[in-house]
Amino acid sequence: MGHTSRHGPVSGGVGTVVRTPREVVRGRVADAALIAVAAVVALITVVDQVKGPVPVSAWALYADWVTGALGLLALGWRRRFPVVIGVALAVASSFSETAAPAAVVALFTVAVHRPARATAAVCGISLAALGVYQLRWPEDAAPQLTVFVIIGLGHLATVAWGMSVRNRRALVASLRERALAAEAEARLRAERAEREARDALAREMHDVLGHRLSLLSVHAGALAFSQGAPAEDRARAAEVVRENAHRALQDLREVIGVLRAPVGELPLPGAGDILELIDEARRAGTPVELRDEAGVTTGERSLPGTQGHTLHRLVQEGLTNVRKHAAGAPVVVRITGRPGDHVSAEVVNAAPAGPPPHPGGSAVGLRGLGERARLVAGRLDHGPTDAGGWRVRLRLPWPS
């Protein structure tokens, strides 16, 4: 029975919630029923007063009836001002018998919408007012003590009923708040998962296309400076450019496929595909030496999918950076480790023969690689070597 506005919010002692149309209709029906009951009881009182002997003057009786009618009208505002209406009707019941039913309804409203302290105060005022009325106009049919006990029990029952409604409302509001909180949490998890998927897509695009386009740049540059070379050499370089451009488009289609299919459905490269990376780098003119002491590229041992994919990305990013910043410098790729412990891989290049063709850089690839390593409880280190080259080292757990 919380306060229901035309827009549906319900305001009461248990907080502010939004009621369904069914609850709004049910609340209005309950309001009408309570006011109707109070009106019927007041009308019965009026009939009894008319039929029985009149202990007061006619004007006092008329004032009693007018006060009772005004009390019934005041119940229309009992939700908005429950304590004020409750106190006013309680005081009115001290001289108006027909106002007593409306005062009981107002007391019930206070018990529903206000704390126990306010309820106890209004209940005390109401009991005192009815006691005053009984002292002034005692009942002839029953002893005063019996009447006081009946009135007191009636007030306690009204308060207990109102507080039970209040507690039930509080429970419903709490359950709704929990449901809304769970829904909000689920929405936040979905948004976080979407952001992580976008970040993964960005890393994938950088790693895959950066590697492929660096190869394409090397061969296109060689073709541009080979105008005096034999036709066969130029044709071979042009074929390499065409082949890598075609592979770049294929890689792009695979990456964009992440937007259309779950990541788990896409074939991701693993440790066994590192040999292909090294062959491509060698054909592009980068001398690469592979030292696989762990046997993961030859198939002697297998790495879990996530570790293998991360290892592949390390080699891919390392070779891509060598072509960008140390073109032509010798590279050593070394892989060590054993199952049940860890696997380590490093890409080390010698000092470049001249200034790098693309100085500087945003290091987006290394940051993305570091994030990949942290996701599988690994660690990434990178920095210059004593000989003037560069080293990128990755360490990952290797479950047995």
CATH number reported for the structural domain that contains residue 329 in this entry: 3.30.565.10
Q: What is the pLDDT of residue 219?
A: 62
Q: What is the pLDDT of residue 170?
A: 83
Q: Is residue 235 part of a domain?
A: no
What range does the domain containing 347 cover?
A: 270-400
Q: What is the pLDDT of residue 31?
A: 73
pTM of this structure: 0.43
Q: Is residue 179 part of a domain?
A: no
Residue that finishes a domain, picked among 83, 113, 137: 137
Q: How many CA atoms lie within 13 A of 272 on its CB side?
A: 10
Q: What is the pLDDT of residue 7?
A: 38
Q: What is the pLDDT of residue 137?
A: 67
Are the C-beta atoms of residues 335 and 345 closer than 8 Å to each other?
A: yes
Residues of the chain with pLDDT under 50: 1-17, 263-265, 358-360
Q: Is residue 251 part of a domain?
A: no
Q: Is residue 201 part of a domain?
A: no
What are the structure tokens assigned to 153, written together? 């029990």
User: Which residue in the block uniquely carries the two structure tokens 């390593």?
Assistant: 373
Q: What is the pLDDT of residue 347?
A: 94
Q: Is residue 149 part of a domain?
A: no
Q: What is the pLDDT of residue 264?
A: 47
Q: Is residue 354 part of a domain?
A: yes
Are the C-beta atoms of residues 64 and 98 closer than 8 Å to each other?
A: yes
Q: What is the pLDDT of residue 17?
A: 47
Q: Is residue 122 part of a domain?
A: yes
Q: What is the pLDDT of residue 256?
A: 64
**What type of residue sits at position 198?**
R
The count of domains in the chain is 2
Residue that finishes a domain, picked among 113, 137, 161: 137
Q: Is residue 395 part of a domain?
A: yes
Residue that finishes a domain, picked among 137, 165, 180: 137
